[in-house]
Amino acid sequence: MDKTTKEILTEARSLITNPDKWIKGNFALTDDHQYSAISFEADATCWCAWGALENAYGSFMNREHPAYVALSYAADGRGLAGFNDDSTHEEVLTAFDKAIENCKEE
């Protein structure tokens, strides 16, 4: 069964709730923060906002995916890579909260 947009957003937010699991400048890193990782593979242990969405989705995600669109809209229409890297952890979590709140039940 496919996950709903709200489920993807909620799961992605939970991945980066701990500030030690949220990063800037990369989609995902390994546990030691030294190596890049594919965001939805097992060796990824910390993520940017977009990487967390991909992890929750289980695959690469383009800008047209409803979860990306919802989070981008909640981030005032900004692209997620730039928004993540130019924002605080709290601002990113707030955008997730807005996106989750704005999701209609699917």
Residue 58 and residue 12: Cα distance in Å, rounded? 11
In the chain, at which residue ranges do the beta strands (DSSP E only) sit? 28-29, 46-47
pTM above 0.85, yes or no: yes
What is the structure's pLDDT at 1?
A: 60
Residues 7-42: tens digit of each pLDDT: 999 999 999 999 999 999 999 999 877 789 999 999
